[in-house]
Chain A
Amino acid sequence: MLDSAFELLRQQADGEVSAVEIAGQAIDAIEASQKLHNAYTHIDRELTLAAAKKIDQKRAAGEPLGALAGVPVAVKDVLCTADMPTTCSSEMLRGFRPPYDATVVERLRAADAVIVGKTNMDEFAMGGSTETGAFGVTTNPWDIKRTPGGSSGGATAAVAAQTVPLSLGTDTGGSIRQPSAFCGVTGLKPTYGRVSRYGLVAFASSLDQIGPIAWSAKECALLMNTIAGFEKRDSTSLYTEVPDYVAATESDDMRGMRVGVLRESMEADGVDPAVKAAVAHAIGVFAELGAEIVDVDLPHREYWVPTYYVIAPSEASSNLSRYDGAHYGHRSSASDNLEAMYCKSRAEGFGEEVKRRIMIGTYALSEGYADQYYNQALKVRRLIRGDYDAAFSQADLLLGPVTPTPAFELGAKLDDPIQMYLCDLFTVGANLAGVPAMSLPAGFNDDGLPLGIQIQAPALEEARLLFAGSAFQSATDYHTKRPRG
């Protein structure tokens, strides 16, 4: 069971432990948890130990070390790694080894982090339960009968099971925040463009964003310091200076900060009373920290899910065209002409949920329907962004639920896509608007399942979220509770 990233950095600096020992512990922990939680799609003990050894040698030689020296990090299997397979938990990409590292992976390596493996996910990041992938289901470390959430369920379960202190997930409609809430960890979806998407296998390009997952906001800040910042290989990457996020978490004085409560969200149908109670409790905590509490509304909230489920599948249908059996991916052996090869390869290589979304997206973009669906969705998206602008003129932060319920049981929603899509009820707004949003552990229900709250900030104000999250965690201890291993 590993300590926090900061503690691991201190222990190494004080010579109490080596990077190799830490890496060994991490791999042991992963192997022990894997049968139970299946949070990883790939680990490599030799590679991990070799990487850790290099850090120890650098330290011994007195060379300068990066900010994450010797800290084990797990990476969602949607991010390209040159030395490990990148599969997106899809049969399509089984065994695929990219010839290059994603930018965030390059930055992790440059910061001397030790990448321990790739984490499980819903196939091509489509799903809310980490049940749709080709490598089996990931379970929730708080209750293995339950889902860890999705699509970054592997990345959050890896942290919750204490196999790593830090992991990277991706969030297209809530895929970092929802599983963070289900697994009782802290997860941040940064502003769109804040972290380079180069090397992130695209699901919905205009919504996807990579972000940190850890027990605490402070550790998320540490990881953000490494991965955030402009990069010229991603044209949508923002050319803005990166603040010191860790420094931003050093204060917990919230005086002068207006926290806008999304009351309407809490009144929505199907929101579990325990979730409502957690939000109500959090309002009190922020008020005690000195924040001014105001009521705000995002009026087009009821259009979030329909808008999202037009735009995301449309982009996905395009992004996934390349998996045709000719260039990448599984090729069917049961075809004798090009057309049949395309059809059969895709039919065999993709799972149900991916096929469903490709069909929706293809339909929404097709001639005669694009105006009715895709173009209409783009217009609504502009209205949603307008809502956020208006809300942020009244409040510095928005506070509300992350998910309608705590973690549900495995298989409970697998055959009911609409129910599954409604898990994104509170999270997709931030993706449609491109603003940063964060999930914080905020309590437990009677069954001992973690509950989360969501805070959102204006574009590029991750530092404000991390500060508020850290302040919340200085006043509460939910983020320090661990599942019984």
Chain B
Amino acid sequence: MAELPTTTIIGLEVHVQLRTKTKLFCGCSTKFGGAPNTQVCPVCLGLPGALPVMNEHAIELAIRAGLALDCDIPPMTKWDRKQYFYPDLPKGYQISQFDLPICVDGVLEIDDPADPEQKRKIHITRAHLEEDAGKSMHDEAAGSADSRIDLNRCGTPLLEIVSEPDLRTAEECLAYLTKLKETMVHLGVSDCEMQEGSLRVDANVNLEIDRHGEVIRTPIVEIKNMNSFRNVASALQYEVKRQYGEWEEHGWTIQTKGKRTFGWNDVKEITYPQREKEESADYRYFPCPDLLPVRIPRERVEEIRQSLGETPGEARTRLQKQYGIKEYDADVIVSQGRAMVEYFDTVATTCDDGKRASSWIQQDVLRTLKEQNTDIESFAVEAKDLGELLRKVIQGELTNDRARDVFKHLAENGGSVDSAIASLGIEAVDDSEMESLVQSLLDANPKVVEDVKSGNQKAIGSLIGQAKKQNRNANPQTVREIALRLINQS
């Protein structure tokens, strides 16, 4: 494509939804997936007369995020109104932060995709809090063009993290977004579930074209509201080509065209200009008179700083070293956030087998969390119980199969491992009882005895199933051992 040497200049604005139980200015739930307009009240609906009250937890999470991004937390921040008309914005303005954001001047260090040995520092201009708007649902079936509005999201707390235009390639953007997401999840700041809209990305992009020593800058395009990393990469790659082509065709530069707003069509995989009106918005920001400025004492910032603990990178290295698990496995655990790392730590130390703990967490725990639509902090199986359960497996007191039954019981009912074992009727089987059971099976299956004698030990497998049928507490390993001993003795 480009014949002249070109540098791409990209700055990202990332909206992450803060992991608060209630909205930014009222007590409504932020849980995803409720029936439309069921998680609303006069405040988040913007009913006449209703007034906002700030959610302290959102401030706390924003400070955590800011500190993790090496930001300064100024001693005073305030709330501003940003005015625009939109059907899913009930008050006609959004409460946001304009000139005094809660976090400023940060940096996020990423691995350089072009050279894994190198790091790149991406500067963070600011991170500010704001309330989310609702969602318009356009039903254009049968030409009815019916529009419905779900205001459940209205007032959900967002942190908008704005980078400097330090990024140069789509790959760098992906590295930045991945690192950012990992950090936010790890600190419990956000779930960053893109399919639920809790992480959204706007990209500001333009080109610097080097025409024989003369640097030409193309107009800046802001690509709005991309909701997957793949879309971000595709949109940027598309946009770079489009801007170069546009420059070749029209010669537009930043001086002649300024900044424009584009959308991303993920079906056609193209960026497209939005209406002029949306570009030339004058938001008429002014301090929100319903909310007082927020003072953030130094001591509070320091307290939060002390509570931040290890970074995701440190956690990953430690897990590999301390428990001997693979890098991939450590990645999966760390990417679930700090609470999951703590859960894993407890399970692994209780059963003294990091690999087993890691495999159970990655399979059974994650699957169950998903099924139950819950998170590790509210999970019914406590870490020390899972650790104890795995210890019983390691010591041969339970088979993996029976342990899964116990796990399932705990996940559904809570309680201790022992009580779960008792209520499932799992008992240790007496050796002599097992011996007579296996003997009777051998008597009934002479073919198996013959096969084993002729060197095919796998034949015992068919006995294990039968043994379990007659006594559900039969341990496969024990059955195998007894069968082999009896056959050899005979």
Convert A86-116 into 0s and 1s, putting 1 for each residue whose CB lies closer than 8 angstroms to a CB of B. 1010000100101110100000000000000
Say whether B49 contacts A235, CB under 8 Å: no
Say whether B85 contacts A80, CB under 8 Å: no
User: Complex Cα distance A88/B282, Å?
Assistant: 29
Say whether A367 contacts B284, CB under 8 Å: yes
Q: Which residues of B contact A201 (CB under 8 A)?
A: 48-49
A328 touches which of B48, B149, B286, B292 (Cβ 8 Å):
B48
Which of B87-95, B115-123, B242-250 makes up part of the contact surface? B87-95
Say whether A236 contacts B46, CB under 8 Å: no
Q: What residue of chain B has the Cβ atom nearest to residue A80's Cβ? A: B49
Answer whether residue A454 sits at the interface, using C-beta atoms and an 8 A cutoff: no
Q: Which residues of B contact A198 (CB under 8 A)?
A: 49-51
A236 touches which of B50, B92, B292 (Cβ 8 Å):
B292
Convert B278-303 into 0s and 1s, putting 1 for each residue whose CB lies closer than 8 angstroms to a CB of A. 00001011100111100000000000
Say whether B48 contacts A93, CB under 8 Å: yes
Say whether B289 contacts A206, CB under 8 Å: yes
- How many residues of chain B are within 8 Å of chain A by beta carbon? 29
User: Complex Cα distance A326/B149, Å?
Assistant: 10
User: Complex Cα distance A233/B292, Å?
Assistant: 13
Q: Which residues of B contact A367 (CB under 8 A)?
A: 282, 284
Closest Cβ–Cβ distance, residue A388 to chain B (whole Å)? 19
Closest Cβ–Cβ distance, residue B90 to chain A (whole Å)? 5
Closest Cβ–Cβ distance, residue A165 to chain B (whole Å)? 25
Q: Which residues of B contact A232 (CB under 8 A)?
A: 53
Answer whether residue B263 sits at the interface, using C-beta atoms and an 8 A cutoff: no
Q: Which of B31-50 contact A (CB under 8 A)?
A: 42, 45-50
Closest Cβ–Cβ distance, residue A14 to chain B (whole Å)? 38
| Range, interface on chain A | 35 or more
Q: Which residues of B contact A374 (CB under 8 A)?
A: 286
Closest Cβ–Cβ distance, residue B475 to chain A (whole Å)? 60
Check A318/B286 contact, CB under 8 A, given A99-B47, A328-B48: yes
Q: Which residues of B contact A362 (CB under 8 A)?
A: 284
Q: What residue of chain B has the Cβ atom nearest to residue A93's Cβ? A: B48
Closest Cβ–Cβ distance, residue A18 to chain B (whole Å)? 33
Answer whether residue B54 sits at the interface, using C-beta atoms and an 8 A cutoff: yes
User: Complex Cα distance A150/B219, Å?
Assistant: 53
Say whether A200 contacts B91, CB under 8 Å: no
Closest Cβ–Cβ distance, residue B196 to chain A (whole Å)? 25
Closest Cβ–Cβ distance, residue A91 to chain B (whole Å)? 14
Q: Which of B294-352 contact A (CB under 8 A)?
A: none
Q: What residue of chain B has the Cβ atom nearest to residue A339's Cβ? A: B277
Q: Which residues of A contact B291 (CB under 8 A)?
A: 235-236
Answer whether residue B83 sits at the interface, using C-beta atoms and an 8 A cutoff: yes
A235 touches which of B47, B48, B52, B91 (Cβ 8 Å):
B52
Q: Which residues of B contact A79 (CB under 8 A)?
A: 49
User: Complex Cα distance A200/B290, Å?
Assistant: 12
User: Complex Cα distance A52/B291, Å?
Assistant: 38
Say whether B51 contacts A197, CB under 8 Å: yes
Closest Cβ–Cβ distance, residue B416 to chain A (whole Å)? 41
Q: Which residues of B contact A99 (CB under 8 A)?
A: 42, 47
Answer whether residue B15 sits at the interface, using C-beta atoms and an 8 A cutoff: no
Answer whether residue A315 sits at the interface, using C-beta atoms and an 8 A cutoff: yes
Answer whether residue A205 sits at the interface, using C-beta atoms and an 8 A cutoff: yes
Answer whether residue A314 sits at the interface, using C-beta atoms and an 8 A cutoff: yes
User: Complex Cα distance A80/B284, Å?
Assistant: 28
Closest Cβ–Cβ distance, residue A92 to chain B (whole Å)? 10
Closest Cβ–Cβ distance, residue A341 to chain B (whole Å)? 9
Say whether A327 contacts B90, CB under 8 Å: yes
B49 touches which of A202, A204, A315, A342 (Cβ 8 Å):
A202
Closest Cβ–Cβ distance, residue A108 to chain B (whole Å)? 15
Q: Which of A313-346 contact B (CB under 8 A)?
A: 314-315, 317-318, 320-322, 324, 326-328, 338-339, 342
User: Complex Cα distance A328/B92, Å?
Assistant: 11
Say whether B93 contacts A321, CB under 8 Å: yes
Check A205/B289 contact, CB under 8 A, given A86-B48, A327-B46, A362-B284: yes
User: Complex Cα distance A98/B48, Å?
Assistant: 8
Given A98-B49, A322-B90; 12 other pairs, CB 8 A cutoff: A98-B47, A202-B290, A206-B289, A234-B51, A235-B52, A321-B93, A322-B46, A322-B48, A326-B149, A367-B282, A370-B284, A374-B286
A→B interface (CB under 8 Å): 79-80, 86, 88, 93, 96, 98-100, 102, 197-202, 204-206, 232-236, 314-315, 317-318, 320-322, 324, 326-328, 338-339, 342, 362, 365-367, 370, 374
B→A interface (CB under 8 Å): 42, 45-54, 81, 83, 85, 87, 90-93, 149, 277, 282, 284-286, 289-292
Cross-chain pairs A/B with CB under 8 angstroms, 7 sampled: A79-B49, A197-B51, A198-B50, A202-B49, A318-B284, A322-B91, A370-B286
The list of the 10 closest CB pairs from A to B, nearest first, reads A321-B92, A205-B289, A206-B289, A365-B284, A201-B48, A199-B49, A80-B49, A367-B282, A322-B92, A201-B49
